[in-house]
Amino acid sequence: MRRYLLAMIAAALLPANAFPQSQLAIDKFDRKSINQAAKEVGFSTLLEGTVGDPELSVFVLVSQPHIQDWRVFPAAVDRTAEGAGRYRWRAVCNLGELDGAGKGDNFQLRAIALDPRLLSSGLPERLPPATAKSSTIVLKRVK
Q: What is the number of domains present in the chain?
A: 1
pLDDT per residue over 99-122, tens digit each? 888 899 999 999 999 989 888 887
Summary mean pLDDT of the chain: 82
We report the CATH number of the domain holding residue 22 as: 2.60.40.10
CB neighbours (10 Å) of residue 84?
6
End-to-end CA distance of the chain: 32
Summarize the confidence of residues 9-23 as an average pLDDT.
47
Q: Which tens digit of pLDDT belongs to each residue from 57-76?
A: 999 999 988 777 789 899 99
Structure pTM?
Answer: 0.80
* Alpha-carbon distances of 70 from 2, 60, 104, rounded to whole Å: 11, 10, 17
Q: Could you tell me the residue range of the domain that residue 46 belongs to?
A: 2-141
∠ CA 106-60-48, nearest 5°, is 90
> Does the pLDDT at position 130 exceed 60?
yes
